[in-house]
Amino acid sequence: MFEVGKKYEFRIIEAGDETTLWGVVERYEHPLIQLARKPSLDIHTGKDKITLGGAPGRIINVTSPNFISAVLSGSDAD
């Protein structure tokens, strides 16, 4: 379902709020996705945008009720 090396837009629920984040899949073993570490991570929560520097690779459980969706983004969608 997910391709290693491709960038996705993820929608999840964190602390009761819907959050959108982007990341490159570093590893995928269903149901877990590990995103690649990146120098900065942009997180959009409602009207706010937060940029975190030196974000570690995040792990997302796609079977969690807090997981909403993932869409292949940008040029990777071609």
pLDDT value of residue 43: 80
* H/E stretch holding 72: strand 67-72
Q: For the chain, what is the domain count?
A: 1
Burial of 45 (0-12, 13-18, 19+ CB in 10 A): middle
Residue 55's CATH number: 2.30.30
Domain membership of residue 2 (yes or no) is: no
What CA–CA distance (Å, rounded) separates 62 from 17? Answer: 17
pLDDT value of residue 55: 61
Tell me the one-letter amino acid at 40: S
Domain membership of residue 78 (yes or no) is: no
Domain membership of residue 33 (yes or no) is: yes
pLDDT value of residue 40: 64
Domain that holds residue 63: 7-73
Domain membership of residue 67 (yes or no) is: yes
Q: Are 14 and 46 in contact (CB under 8 A)?
A: no
pLDDT value of residue 26: 94
- pLDDT tens for residues 10-68? 999 999 999 999 999 999 999 999 999 866 667 888 888 877 666 678 999 999 999 99
